[in-house]
Amino acid sequence: MRTIKGVASSVKMDKTVVVSVHAYKIHPKYKKKYRVTAKFYAHDENNSVKEGDMVTIKETRPLSKLKRWEVMEG
């Protein structure tokens, strides 16, 4: 089971939170670091997460078209 830490970037949906995860990659030719952002839709049963919170999400079965993650803590 995979877990990811990220920042809650949107909490406007009911029982769903969008988690932004930042990572740094190195350009293969120019060797410069650049930041990439991935967004994950996670299930938040109690609507307890606020925007800007650090959250940990875990992988789960597909809950909808985009939701494949569930909030563990945050």
- Structural domain tally of the chain? 1
Contacts of 48 (CB under 8 A, 6+ apart): 71
- CATH code of 12's domain: 2.40.50.140
pTM of the predicted model, to two decimals? Answer: 0.89
Give residue-wise pLDDT tens across range 3-61. Answer: 999 999 999 999 999 999 999 999 999 999 999 999 999 999 999 999 999 999 999 99
User: Residue 55 is encoded by which pair of tokens?
Assistant: 């959250």
Residue 10 lies in domain: 3-73
